Structure 1
């Protein structure tokens, strides 16, 4: 195995997700015609960048009840036991199990737990860089973009064989995280 790529300005440390400057969103086909989109507004997480970037870790917790689609009726429907079952499973979690290089990007292998079911999931991630964030007390900040596609039925989300709702759900993340001192 070759040595990991050197990342300009790379900083080893512990980073907490800056929720106001981050986004976790999804899209799923509706009626096979268009994409229905939503996002989660409440989440936390931590990134630990190791001396060797491939030894780094990621954890995240999402408040499933913070779903926001722009339609209150749909948001409330998604919170029911037919979809997210927020009453019994209020959080969605991700825990990395390994990181691999993928050209200039990275693959973050992990476990996604949603509705009490844990499924191996890989995020394709782009490390956007390191810098100072004047909107967050000039905190040293890391920026990461990532995405994955999951099968909603792997987690028991929505009815089987639903012609209204696609099986594949694309999840996208735009993350800024502040270095902890």
Structure 2
């Protein structure tokens, strides 16, 4: 397996996201003065690394009902038709459509589907490296950090913007994935 020389330890293969060591989080301004934060506890997906890293791809599925903001009453409201509408749209998905270099980091172009709307989204990604994981039989493990800011109204989420809730939602992703094949 040949690999780009700029990435030590790079190997091709299919990697399963290790949800115990990964996080999908969000933040949105509330009242224009503070950020309300949360994450999703139910998600999974795969990363497929290709000979050329730019030919690699990623897919992620998020259980929308697993939203966890630290406030049960708010979580229950987020699950309703006012926001995530989990009864009709139980899954949020991201599927990459391309990867490109951006200085020492990468841009992962893709499609985010949320509440039935599919919108192009670009993740700013940092490849954190590959290392054997001693707690998982020394299986090669990859690490990636990524973030994007989306407009929740593009997906029909929540009320139109006002002083109460910003339309901009920042998504922060920390992925650790184990080599499967």
Aligned partners of 2:103, 2:48: CA distance in 1, in Å? Answer: 21
Structure 2 match to 1:18:
18
1:89 and 2:89 matched = yes
Distance apart, 1:5 and its partner CA? 6.8
SS of alignment partner, residue 37 of structure 1: strand
SS of alignment partner, residue 170 of structure 2: strand
Structure 2 match to 1:67:
67
Aligned partners of 1:176, 1:161: CA distance in 2, in Å? Answer: 34
Question: Mapping of 1:1-181 within 5 angstroms?
Answer: 6-181=6-181
Structure 1: gaps (5+ residues): none
Distance apart, 1:140 and its partner CA? 1.0
Please list every run of at least 4 consecutive aligned residues from structure 1 whose deviation after the TM superposition is greater than 4 angstroms.
none
Q: Please give the root-mean-square deviation of Cα atoms over the aligned residues, in Å.
A: 1.1
SS of alignment partner, residue 168 of structure 1: strand
Aligned partners of 1:143, 1:83: CA distance in 2, in Å? Answer: 31
Residues paired across the two proteins, number: 178
Could you list the per-position Cα deviations for residues 102-155 of structure 1 after superposition, in whole angstroms to 9, with x for gaps in the alignment? 000000000000000000000010000000122333321000000000001000
Structure 2: gaps (5+ residues): none
Q: What is the TM-score normalised by the length of structure 2?
A: 0.96
SS of alignment partner, residue 47 of structure 2: strand
Aligned partners of 2:82, 2:153: CA distance in 1, in Å? Answer: 11
Distance apart, 1:7 and its partner CA? 1.1
Could you list the per-position Cα deviations for residues 16-41 of structure 1 after superposition, in whole angstroms to 9, with x for gaps in the alignment? 00001000000000000000000000
Specify whether residues 60 and 129 from structure 1 end up closer, same or farther in structure 2 by C-alpha distance, changes over 3 A only.
same
Aligned partners of 2:105, 2:8: CA distance in 1, in Å? Answer: 13
